[in-house]
Amino acid sequence: MWGKFVVRAAVVTTALSSLVSGTSAAAQSCTWKATPLPPAEVGGYVHVVGATGTGNYSGTTRWADPSGSLVLHMVLWNRGEPVGRVHAPPPGRFRPSPVDENQRGTILLDTQTADGMNGGVFTYSGGHEGRGTYRQLPTPAGFTYVWPEAINNRGDAIGRGSGGAVLWPGDGGAPVVISLPPDKHVVQVVDLDDDGTVLLYLNDGPHLWRAGTLTQLAQPAGYRFPWAEAIRGGKIVGHARTTDEQATYQGFFWPAPDKVVPIQDNALGEGINENGLVIGRASVYSPGGVWFGTHPLGEIPDNSSIRLISDDNSVLGTSSAGDNNTVWHPTCG
């Protein structure tokens, strides 16, 4: 089953590579087929955060009960099933809130205690095949809390807490607290690449950290406030703002930490998959669109907003036609 999806993604990516290198009309060469995401088996606002790239998704439903308390369920959608299924939280924990999912279907999530306090960070594996298994990720000494941010395909996870950024190795090793020079501190933990490279936003801009080495990303010339949003396979996307009074947004692509190039007809680079497909927006208020590297492939239909891009090159978001979660698959050639 997985092989089928890998072949399909590779065919589409090869077609995209040929299009952007051989024609200036690439945006007219891809069409998008919409498939509504099935409803969850419980009501509430649906928020999807993760995908395996094989048609499986994870997220939450949430609503307020008559007393005003938040009711939150973790929901997994399995390819071919008519509804998204609710999965119970870890024993003694409440309000399981996924933040990310890798190709293996391992979900990274946050939890709460019965009184609404931080309940710790967990991974959840095997949930798309049946009843899954939880594993609590240890809170480092000196931390009072940690919030999870991202998980990569080998199972490493990254989060941020009271003591800074923490990396949990996928092999079950002890958590690593990321050490920074005295003049730097973590503003936000952003993303995690498959080789363990951590994308951080520090007090002086976006950086990469890997195995103790810190590297600042190249600054786009003539722009300020650079922000890197996502990393995959060493490639990074984000945005910056012009230095004039209008402070216009421009999307950027970092093929390497020391090189940055503008994304054509893009204001915000917001995500990237393993094949180099980028999601973002042509302007701050535009519908979601897709790029192959820096080359535009057009907007998603129905004035849709995009939440994530999967490694099968499909994108998931909400359509203004009904504000429903929808998956779009490209056909290019």
Q: What is the pLDDT of residues 122-133, one digit of tens each?
A: 999 999 999 999
% of residues, the chain, pLDDT over 90:
81
pLDDT beyond 50 at 7: no
Express each pLDDT in 21-40 by its tens digit.
444 434 446 788 999 999 99
pLDDT at site 15: 52
Over range 226-246, report the average pLDDT: 96
| Per-residue model confidence (pLDDT) at position 324 | 82
Is there a contact between 240 and 226 (Cβ–Cβ < 8 Å)? yes
Cα–Cα distance, 143 to 274 (Å, whole number)? 33
Q: What is the largest CA-CA distance in the chain?
A: 60
Q: For tokens 């995690």, what's the residue?
A: 192
pLDDT of residue 1: 33
Which ranges of the chain does DSSP label H, i.e. alpha helix?
Answer: 2-22
Backbone angles phi, psi at 84, to 5 degrees: -85, 135
Average pLDDT (176-186) is 96
Average pLDDT score over residue span 176-201: 97
Q: What is the mean pLDDT of residues 158-184?
A: 96
Is the pLDDT reported for residue 211 higher than 90?
yes
Task: Report the chain's mean pLDDT, rounded to a whole number.
Answer: 90
Q: What is the pLDDT of residue 69?
A: 87
pLDDT value for 19: 44
